[in-house]
Structure 1
Amino acid sequence: MKQIVVYGDSVSFGMIPGSRDRYPFDKRWPGVLENSLNAEGASVRVIENCLAGRKTSWDDPFRPGRNGAQGLSEVIELNSPTALVLISLGTNDFQATHDIKSWGSAQGVAKLVDIVRQAPIEPGMPRPEILILAPADIVEPKGENIVKFEGAPARCKGLVEALKAVAEIKCVHFFDTNSVTGASEVDGIHHDDVQHVKIGKALAPVIRRIIGS
């Protein structure tokens, strides 16, 4: 069995738009991905490490533990051997607490790639492949996200291109979730259950090519 680690935020956590509830495993995209791969004859386990509010490399002034660069090395170490790490972060970099733009967020992801590669795994264990996921564009935050993500649509412009450039420079894999679906119309940040299914199923063939059958 091959292990896949999803390192993400509330979007990958499966936060139900407009609520504080969570979709069950088989409804959120990491679960859809695992079930799709195994239904096709693969033997994989998708490990979710997805924390609401997690940023790429910055502290949250109100909630501890949201700096994605802190603790990632240990996540890789404790889940080794791992075939693939999916880095699914960036959305929370554009919260109103920081004046981060797309280049800065992409550099935060680049830092995470380096941390994965330098993690102190046991001698002889393989280094995991890395896949950067570009999150859905923030177009129009709604509900409580209007204030929380004030100015985010403008600041996140160009993130997909910036993340793709990082993936090319770092020689890692890249997938743009915007090619499958956007953010939920309910809150402008998360995904509804249909969108989760689309992402999970679209990722399945991509990941089969990366990790093999």
Structure 2
Amino acid sequence: MENILVYSDSVSWGVIPDTRKRMDFHLRWPGVLERSLKEKGSDVRVIENCLNGRKTVWEDPFREGRRGVDGLAQVIEMHSPLKCVLLMLGTNDFQDTHDNKAWMAAQGVAKLVSVIRQAPIEPGMSIPKILIIAPLAINNPKGIIGHKFAGAEQRCKDFPGELEKVSRELGTHYLDANTLVKVSDIDGIHLDEDQHMVLGQAVADYLQKIKVLSWP
């Protein structure tokens, strides 16, 4: 069996827009990804490490443990051997507590890539491939957490392009979720159930295309 790690935030955790509830595993995109890969013939397990409010490298002044860089090396060590790590982070870097623009958040993702590649895995285990997935652009944030993202639409502008530059410079794989799915009209931040289905299938197709896993 081959392992894939999804390292992400509430979008991949499966928050039901404008609630505190969570979609079941088979409905959120990492679960859809696992099912689709198995249907394609891959013996795979998708491991979720998705935390609500997770940022790349910045502290949250109100909630502890939201720096994605903290403990990431140990997460990689814990779940190794890994074939691939899927990084879909950056949305929370644009919360109103920070004045980050696209370049800054992209550099946060670059730091995560560095940590993954330097993680203390066991001798003989290969460094996992990395797929950077550009998260959906925030659009008219509203609802119970909308106030956290006041002005985020402008701050996150050009984020996919900056992430693509980071991916190219660091030699990772890259996928832009904005070309595949749309953000929920309910809160402007998360994904509706049907979009989880589309994204999970699209990521599975992409992983098959780049031949990250073993196929029959």
The answer, yes or no, to whether TM exceeds 0.5 is yes
**Distance (Å, rounded) in 2 between the aligned partners of 1:139 and 1:168:** 27
State the shift of 1:147 in Å.
Answer: 1.2
Q: Write the mapping of 1:17-96 to structure 2, written as runs, cut at 5 A.
A: 17-96=17-96
**Distance (Å, rounded) in 2 between the aligned partners of 1:203 and 1:102:** 23
Q: For residue 83 of structure 1, what is the amino acid of its counterpart?
A: K
State the shift of 1:122 in Å.
Answer: 0.3
State the shift of 1:101 in Å.
Answer: 0.7
Match of 1:102 in 2: 102
**Distance (Å, rounded) in 1 between the aligned partners of 2:180 and 2:142:** 21
**Distance (Å, rounded) in 2 between the aligned partners of 1:145 and 1:164:** 28
State the shift of 1:205 in Å.
Answer: 1.5
Match of 1:11 in 2: 11
Contact 2:90 2:105 survives alignment (8 Å):
yes
The C-alpha deviation readout for 1:143-175, integer Å capped at 9, x for no partner, is 123311011000000000000000000000000
Q: For residue 3 of structure 2, what is the amino acid of its counterpart?
A: Q
State yes or no: 1:174 paired with 2:182.
no
State yes or no: 1:137 paired with 2:137.
yes
**Distance (Å, rounded) in 2 between the aligned partners of 1:188 and 1:210:** 32
Contact 2:19 2:144 survives alignment (8 Å):
no
SS at match of 2:178: helix
**How many residue pairs are counted as aligned between the two chains?**
213
SS at match of 2:212: helix
SS at match of 2:186: coil
Percent identity between matched residues is: 54
**Distance (Å, rounded) in 1 between the aligned partners of 2:188 and 2:214:** 35
Contact 2:18 2:145 survives alignment (8 Å):
no
The C-alpha deviation readout for 1:68-127, integer Å capped at 9, x for no partner, is 000100000000000000011000000001111100000000000000000000000111
Match of 1:211 in 2: 213
Match of 1:119 in 2: 119
Q: For residue 8 of structure 1, what is the amino acid of its counterpart?
A: S
**Distance (Å, rounded) in 2 between the aligned partners of 1:192 and 1:212:** 31
**Distance (Å, rounded) in 1 between the aligned partners of 2:149 and 2:20:** 17
Any gaps of 5 or more consecutive residues in structure 2? none
Runs of 4+ in 1 over 6 A off after TM superposition: none
Contact 2:42 2:213 survives alignment (8 Å):
no
SS at match of 1:63: coil
Any gaps of 5 or more consecutive residues in structure 1? none
